[in-house]
Amino acid sequence: MTTVRFSPLQQYGIVTANYWAFTLTDGALRMLVLLYFYQLGYSPLAIAMLFLFYEIFGILTNLFGGWLGARLGLNVTMNIGLSIQIVALLMLAVNPDWLSVPYVMAAQALSGIAKDLNKMSAKSAIKSLASDASGQLFRWIAVLTGSKNALKGVGFFLGAALLSWVGFANALYLMAGMLAVALAVSLLFLDYRLGKAKQKPKFSEVFSKSPAINWLSAARFFLFGARDVWFVVALPVYLEAVLGWSHMQVGGFLAAWVIGYGIIQASTPSLTKAAGIAQPRKETAMRLAAILAWVPASMAVLLSWDPVWVVLIGLTLFGVLFALNSAVHSYLIVAYADADGTSKDVGFYYMANAGGRLMGTVLSGWIYQEWGMAICLGFSALFVILATVLVAKIPE
């Protein structure tokens, strides 16, 4: 069994590096599957269905994974997540004739379990390593979340590039090898006591009893539904089918957007401090969400005017404001979470996050196929308004 060998800062570095390696493969896999199956002639709704189990099993994983992490330790859940992702990648690196929709959905289910085990473990671990009194918790959460999303953007580009350079199967083998290295480092050096609750939580405690966490989780559901309802399936297909962009252009553009989004997330503590906000409160989240709602609403109205510029400018504004919203939410959930067994509350919250992604992913394919991009953007604005209302319900 691993003993404590590193300081909290060094343990934070190991957790972050682990999360980075996983995120690169997660972003690359998403782009690989989306572009590869669109290239094979799948409809937007059929592509959305490929990710259905990814999101459904993410919901279940966050709910039960948080309880498991509190009982066994977050190093266990993090390493299980890495192992499952390696299996999911190798499942897809088979004869293309095997890649039926049910088979790909099963592989995506494993990937969804892996991703949310890894994310829940990484974010919960910071509660054990950082102090909230000095603002360290906010800074470390923002850096972890922001750097993760920047690397997810790199993953989008990596997925599109590898599909063009080495093909679908070889790309999957390369990513599985990278994760095997990350797993070895984690097994050797991550503190086995990280995040383990002093009082073993009962299985009945997987559901949060805190009103603040319940309202914040409901707001997170609609916040991430607002992003994915137009970003996950509709946008890449729109860029390729309507604007005539190539695989590399689509992957490169989405990668640049997510990288910029991650940089803004990581910079949120500095930006809020410059605005006179040392530590965010629910009012901070409310104001940011209210401003964000205007962006997709305006894009929906203006899309027929000049779609290229509306997408470029609108995505930039949406990315900046969504990054600020997400960073503040990520801090608030860890701040509100119970210090003993943090992963229970964080897992419940990210269960709502996964539910919002599921709703957004399915609606993204269906609404775009039936009514087009403008209606996807209209739903995005509606969901952000609902998130604003729900944050207002959080008790002081």
Query: What is the number of other CB atoms lying within 10 angstroms of the CB of residue 374?
Result: 19
- pLDDT (tens, 9 = 90+) of the chain, 396 residues, equals 444 456 777 777 888 888 888 988 898 998 888 888 887 888 877 887 888 888 888 888 877 777 777 777 778 888 899 999 999 999 999 888 888 888 988 998 999 899 888 888 887 777 777 666 567 778 888 888 788 778 888 888 888 888 888 888 899 999 999 999 999 988 887 776 665 666 665 555 555 567 888 899 999 999 999 999 998 889 988 998 888 888 778 878 888 888 888 889 889 988 888 888 878 888 999 999 999 999 999 999 999 888 999 999 999 999 999 999 999 998 898 888 765 556 667 777 878 888 898 899 889 989 998 999 999 999 999 999 999 999 999 886
CB 348 within 8 A of CB 62: yes
How far apart, in whole angstroms, are the C-alpha atoms of residue 337 and residue 350?
A: 12
Secondary structure, 3-state, 200-269: CCCHHHHCCCCHHHHHHHHHHHHHHHHHHHHHCCHHHHHHHHCCCCCHHHHHHHHHHHHHHHHHHHHHHH
pLDDT of residue 266: 87
pLDDT of residue 353: 87
How far apart, in whole angstroms, are the C-alpha atoms of residue 257 and residue 246?
A: 17
CB 20 within 8 A of CB 28: no
Tokens of 132: 């909230």
CB 329 within 8 A of CB 226: no
CB 369 within 8 A of CB 228: no
pLDDT of residue 323: 92
pLDDT of residue 3: 45
Q: Could you give the domains of the chain?
A: 8-391 (1.20.1250.20)
What count of residues does the chain have? 396
Q: Give SS3 for 275.
A: coil
Helix (H) or strand (E) holding 43: none
Of the candidates 148, 174, 179, the residue with the CA atom closest to the CA atom of residue 159: 174
pLDDT of residue 224: 94
pLDDT of residue 126: 75
Output the CA–CA distances (angstroms, integers) from residue 380 to 140, 287, 375, 377, in the order listed: 29, 17, 9, 5
Q: Where are the alpha helices (DSSP H) in the chain?
A: 8-39, 44-50, 52-72, 74-92, 101-129, 136-165, 168-189, 211-231, 234-241, 247-274, 282-292, 294-302, 307-336, 342-371, 373-391
pLDDT of residue 259: 84
